[in-house]
Structure 1
């Protein structure tokens, strides 16, 4: 996986790289003793200008209906704390540092929520960061909740999920590569592992950086430096390897719980 090459003066304008952003872990840290984390009060921000409705990318998967905003994807792990609905509030929202907003906005990329917070990320997270509403990644619906499909398609979906489980592939990986098409992209998450990097390297036609964040600390200055350096690299560079921190998450084997948002 490499960084995107710098454009030449004669090149036509190119689309910005994508940055797929998880919430729990990168933005809302967890896992350390509770008194480790400072508490932030919501910061008033000017009302962001509404963005026009986004047009689905032609390479994005067609037809799947996203899960309801308050319903986690069935494959989401339970490592993150269970999350109430948006109307009830999130007990860990005070850990959300508003300083992430300007740092994210300064990156030369298109930000996309890649989390099972779904539309709640624009309701609960973006205003606290001073960000406008962002595109929300639509996850493929699991067979049990999809629109009526043939039995063969139902079985094929289940078989693919079983294969991904055996490979240790994260349930987000295929969908993110399909959404990115050939565009350069970054994926920021606390659950990325070697199988995800290997699969993206084999199946994505453009540069990609899978950047794993320590969920006990969340995004740090060092993380933002790594993201900015990759996005602004004048020529293709190897992705950081190994990740800048070492602990791996528990193996993703067997059925995954629906207890937490990611």
Structure 2
């Protein structure tokens, strides 16, 4: 099932029943792949019902493609089985590391953007795409440290990765904004460096403002500056579907739908502007 409408929401357990009963007008729903790796049970039944109502996006949080150690084969096996069973419209992963040997860290950890790391990640991404028989979207990361050994920016690293592997991008605008605020950069500069043609999905989320900087929490409404980034991306001609990503302090479903409607309005205004320019 292809995604025909511009905005979806992350489908979380407290909203399962309401979404499936009321079937609000959403472009798609997204779930975390690892929550559905088991062979049976109620969760898989819910996912099957959701798949019958909406296009499905599988978003991975545990593959840790940039980990220096090998491994992860069992994880890929489970992901491949899930993809084969549900035939999602989109499959995505984070560009991060999180594994040393048989130890897996429950976090999305940054790494130095070097040519050595690029070769490692490109090989992993190519192997993953071959196994899944489809392109995979890689997400830019929210990070709280930077590395002196980095030879390029994250945006340049992602652009090279797209060229080497043919993968797509999951453009998380909140992550882009959080990093720019914390490290003193300009999110528009990052957008200029990214290959916009490769963007297959956009994430929108909220963050916490602390005395130490911004923290990517997925626990509040999208801020005005991130909405402005979405408008900029739409004006660049990127029509990829957007997702309202809310994982902590989960609100009532109506608030998620209101955020999705705001994203739709931004897309609609931009389409009107395009028509006006053409006229």
Task: Calculate the TM-score normalised by the size of structure 2.
Answer: 0.33
As a proportion of its length, which structure holds more helix?
2
As a proportion of its length, which structure holds more strand?
2
